[in-house]
Structure 1
């Protein structure tokens, strides 16, 4: 089963048994960024520097991506708007949409609980671990081994690197051991120049958005 980059990132963040999400804030930025990268790869949007541009409204055939594409079309309304503004708007919504998509695919199940009998909480324990196991094996072969990444795997590594999700993607390994390799892959010659440039722009926007969010909280 082929799933989106955003769904891959979300799978990495979920505890298999409890279904609790780890590093939810950082994951939110990466998931929102992953959806943008998917739309770049599908040639539905272009990212140039700080701005987004809608290039096609033709459906991709993926319900998760098509919903975000429709939301982007409404939000842009023919204007050039900043990538950071979209990420800030979307980082929470993107995770919710992605969890719903994983549930619909049968990879996780939604469980609803109440903390102290009052506060509703949702958890997403694993229902089918085959996709996540294949995902982790693919990442290990590229980052811990010497396999050459394909376009999608390299894009995923770039998002993991930008959002500092090394602990989720490579449990048991120290992030400091991995950053040089993930950075090398993120900067590599693994896709057409225009795609690499767009993904780098998304990475920069993610870093700017997370920094602005942290400053606002402090």
Structure 2
């Protein structure tokens, strides 16, 4: 089953049994960035410098991506471009919700709603079909731990995980020193078209900026 980069990151984040998201905030930024990267690779948006541009509003056929195309078009409001950090800040929570919904529609997770203190609804997404996540983890291990050459999508995924510091989601139980250098190498490598490499570089900078701003706001 072919799934999106955003769904892959979400699968890595979800605890298989409880359905709770681990490193939820950082994973949320990575999910929003992953959708943008998919749209860059599909030649629907451009990310360059600090700015995001919609270059083609035609649907891709992938519901999760096409929903973002419509939202980006409305958000731009006839402007040529707007800041990537503004979009990530606006969309990361909604992107997570849309990605979880997509995983549910694919039958990979099931939504469970519980009441906290008997009042507040709390949603969890335990695993329903683990085959896709197992294949994903095997693919990541082959590239990061065994030294296999990545394809464009796998290298893009690793770059996003590295920039959001989600190494332990991808490789639980592994020491950072066993995975971080290789993931850093892949994130900086010549593994994709120039436009994709530029987008990854500039999204990494944007994700660092919004993450830093969130930390400052939380501690103020």
Alignment of 1:1-218 (within 5 A): 1-79=1-79, 80-218=81-219
Q: Can you list the C-alpha shifts for 1:148-189, whole angstroms capped at 9, x where unaligned? A: 000000000000000000111101102233211101001111
TM-score for the superposition, normalised by structure 1: 0.98
CA RMSD of aligned residues (A): 0.7
Determine helix, strand or coil for the equivalent of 1:43.
coil
Alpha-carbon distance in 1 for matches of 2:51, 2:183:
25
Alpha-carbon distance in 2 for matches of 1:162, 1:78:
31
Number of residue-to-residue matches in the alignment: 218
Alpha-carbon distance in 2 for matches of 1:71, 1:193:
26
Determine helix, strand or coil for the equivalent of 1:6.
helix
Q: Can you list the C-alpha shifts for 1:56-87, whole angstroms capped at 9, x where unaligned? A: 00000000100011000000123210000100
Structure 1: give runs of 5+ residues left out of the alignment. none
Q: Which runs of 4+ in 1 moved over 6 A?
A: none
Moved more, 167-176 or 122-131: 167-176
Q: Can you list the C-alpha shifts for 1:78-137, whole angstroms capped at 9, x where unaligned? A: 321000010011111110010000000100000110112111100101011010000000
Structure 2: give runs of 5+ residues left out of the alignment. none
